[in-house]
Amino acid sequence: MTIITLTVPDLGGVDEVEVIELSANAGQTIAVDDALAVVESDKASMDLPATEAGVLVRYLIKEGDRIAAGAPLAEIDVVGASEGEAPAAEPVAAAPAALAEPVESPPAAAVVQSREIEVAIPDIGSDGLVEVIEISAAVGDELAEGDTLLVLESDKATMDVPVPQAGTLLALRVSEGDKVASGAAMAVLRIAAAEQPSAAQAEPQSAPQSAPQSASQAAQAVAPAAAATPAPVAAALPADDDGADVYAGPAVRKLARELGVALTKVAGSGPRGRILKDDVSAFVKQSLAAPAAPAGAAAGSGLPALPEIDYSQFGAVETRPASNIAKATARNMVRSWLNVPHVTHFDKADITELESFRASLRSAAEARNTRISAVAFAVKAVAVALREQPIFRTALSADGEQLIEKQYCHIGIAVDTERGLMVPVLRDADRKGIWQIAAEVAELAALARSGKLKPAQMQGGCFTISSLGAIGGTGFTPIVNAPEVGILGLSKTTIEPVWDGSEFQPRQLLPMALSYDHRTVNGGDAGRFMVRIVELLGDVRWLAM
């Protein structure tokens, strides 16, 4: 076996992402670029691919973790893949006679040797049985020497059982509620080969392990970013009571001291009301949430917060958490609406000739396996207008003192997905033809709907187009995607009578709504911009000029 550690690749400038799905199982053969996990940022979800082929030994992350680029992701056996080996999902120490010799790893793989040891219950001061009332670690956790593994309880006292050496917890031999005695096996631990196990431990079994960083560093790399910090907890909950009269073990008391929590205020959920670590954590989360400022005040809006309503009093309800994307969209929309003075300019483009031309391209589109929609023409028209009127390619600096003119023409396309609204960005739209625009818009929309957009593919836009034509409606007022200064909304095409000077003619009209930031764009700018788009869509020959 040659075990290497795969790390989280570059995340496109995103600091942290949440692990929402593990895409493989231990023992599964993985090819290069196979998805190992799915992560989600505020803007998009993406797959984390394998950079090496091999057999997945174990994950170093779990669902719900918040991770950053460079954090340990998983361990794979690169030799086992070629030799057809399949390592067990949870290795267990065997008898000494069956132990394998340590396997030397090539220096290029940066692999070091490791051993697996059986950890036993230490001397507990009596020959009787004691009850396991708490498991303080989970399989896969990186433990430091002295970290609590179990909490035991006798008739007289509770005691923490620490791990004798630093390492990775591979398996647990006991469960909560078990009765155990001194010397009973309680866990399997993987330790570095350089560390010598104590005499009380079983003979080690060798296994290669990629360990370029310490256990504490690995734990920090994958620790959830939202972990509670002592300062705010202590401020909210002064630890004016050491909890001497409460029912809690030493590990729980230590955690409470670190977080500034008075144990007398925590309700225990363990046997006979014993306070567990989970109880302390839940109390901290509740305490941090309780004094939070109302949403309006926190956003700087000065608006009163909406009252909390118990909707169940009116009938059956179902509560489910909002996705990260939905929450980010809500924050961005509120921020844009409160900070950007919106004005919306309405008009209709006569696209009768455009639709006739588009219908004539049907055979060519099928040959290219590309569907050309009216949106592709709208993107091209907007790109031409953006080049001619650079005010719509600007951004207002945060202090409001400068206008930043972008020398590129990247256009965002709003896409409705199951995860929420996503806006992939089509780059250099002014340099591309209708065929290329149609193909790239379709590709970006497919990536958005499948959750495979990368954060970099949603950044750098100058202007946004949002089309509800396929859904319906006669018009809407889109919200500017700040720091952009404009967004064009397209509604459903209708056939209306238009006077040609002598009689009414049925024409296909496309309703459009241009919302803009009035701090940067004035009404004349917006009027000229919209008139130009109407002109370009009314006669697509202008798009070739």
Mind listing the pLDDT tens digit for each residue in 12-26? 777 788 888 888 888
DSSP 432-485: S-HHHHHHHHHHHHHHHHHT---GGGG---SEEEEE-TTT--S---PPP-TTS-
Residue predicted with more confidence, 220 or 135: 135
SS3 385: helix
The verdict on 146 and 268 lying in the same domain is no
- Predicted pLDDT of residue 510: 97
491 pLDDT exceeds 90? yes
- Predicted pLDDT of residue 219: 39
| 390: DSSP letter | G
Q: What are 477-488's pLDDT values in tens digits?
A: 999 999 999 999
Cα distance between residue 252 and residue 256, in whole Å: 6
Cα distance between residue 162 and residue 445, in whole Å: 52
The verdict on 346 and 249 lying in the same domain is no
The verdict on 174 and 209 lying in the same domain is yes
Strand partners, 119: 187
Cα distance between residue 324 and residue 328, in whole Å: 6
Rounded mean pLDDT, 44-71: 86
- Cα within 13 Å of Cα(164), Cβ side: 20
Summary mean pLDDT of the chain: 80
Residue predicted with more confidence, 533 or 73: 533
Residue predicted with more confidence, 470 or 218: 470
Domain assignment present for residue 317? The answer is no
The verdict on 479 and 506 lying in the same domain is yes
Amino acid present at 516: Y
Domain boundary among the residues 198, 222, 246 is at: 222
The verdict on 44 and 113 lying in the same domain is no
Residues 27/87, Cβ–Cβ less than 8 Å: yes
Domain assignment present for residue 514? The answer is yes
Residues 365/371, Cβ–Cβ less than 8 Å: yes
Domain assignment present for residue 305? The answer is no
- Predicted pLDDT of residue 1: 64
Provide the token pair at 75.
């361990």
- CATH number for position 402: 3.30.559.10
Q: What are 194-221's pLDDT values in tens digits?
A: 444 444 444 444 444 443 443 344 334 4
Q: How many domains does the chain have?
A: 4
Cα distance between residue 506 and residue 512, in whole Å: 19
Domain boundary among the residues 83, 111, 143 is at: 83
Rounded mean pLDDT, 494-499: 95
Cα distance between residue 306 and residue 173, in whole Å: 51
- CATH number for position 78: 2.40.50.100
Confidence tier at 253 by pLDDT (50, 70, 90): confident
The verdict on 412 and 391 lying in the same domain is yes
The verdict on 110 and 154 lying in the same domain is yes
Helix axes 277-289, 250-259, angle to 10 degrees: 20
- Predicted pLDDT of residue 244: 53
Residue predicted with more confidence, 530 or 329: 530
Range name among 130-144, 360-374, 375-389, 488-502 with the lowest pLDDT average: 130-144
Domain assignment present for residue 296? The answer is no
Active site positions, annotated: 518
- Predicted pLDDT of residue 96: 39
Residues 81/29, Cβ–Cβ less than 8 Å: yes
Determine the straight-line distance between the first and last CA of the chain, rounded to whole angstroms.
Answer: 64
The verdict on 245 and 215 lying in the same domain is no
Provide the token pair at 172.
């647990």
Q: What are 84-115's pLDDT values in tens digits?
A: 444 444 444 433 333 334 444 444 444 455 67
Residue predicted with more confidence, 396 or 289: 396
Rounded mean pLDDT, 147-151: 85
Residues 17/70, Cβ–Cβ less than 8 Å: no
- CATH number for position 278: 4.10.320.10
The verdict on 366 and 419 lying in the same domain is yes
Q: What are 180-189's pLDDT values in tens digits?
A: 888 888 888 8
Residue predicted with more confidence, 11 or 89: 11
Q: Strand pairing of 486-490 and 504-517?
A: antiparallel
Residue predicted with more confidence, 260 or 446: 446
The verdict on 408 and 531 lying in the same domain is yes
The verdict on 122 and 237 lying in the same domain is no
Domain assignment present for residue 258? The answer is yes
The verdict on 494 and 403 lying in the same domain is yes
**Residue 496 is part of which domain span?**
326-544
Maximum Cα–Cα distance for the chain, whole Å? 109
Q: Which residue has the tokens 């600096």?
A: 397
Cα distance between residue 171 and residue 169, in whole Å: 6
DSSP 79-110: HHHHHT----SS-----GGGPPPPPPPPGGGT
Confidence tier at 386 by pLDDT (50, 70, 90): very high
- Predicted pLDDT of residue 268: 85
Rounded mean pLDDT, 240-257: 68
Domain boundary among the residues 167, 194, 222 is at: 222
Burial of 138 (0-12, 13-18, 19+ CB in 10 A): exposed
| 542: DSSP letter | G
pTM (two decimals): 0.53
359 pLDDT exceeds 90? yes
- Predicted pLDDT of residue 156: 61
Cα angle vertex 517, ends 512, 522, to 5°?
85
User: Torsions phi, psi of 188, nearest 5?
Assistant: -115, 130
Domain assignment present for residue 91? The answer is no
11 pLDDT exceeds 60? yes
Rounded mean pLDDT, 56-74: 88
- Residue 483, preceding peptide bond in cis (omega within 30° of 0): yes
Residue predicted with more confidence, 120 or 123: 120
Q: What percent of the chain has pLDDT over 70?
A: 79
- Cα within 13 Å of Cα(536), Cβ side: 22
Domain assignment present for residue 512? The answer is yes
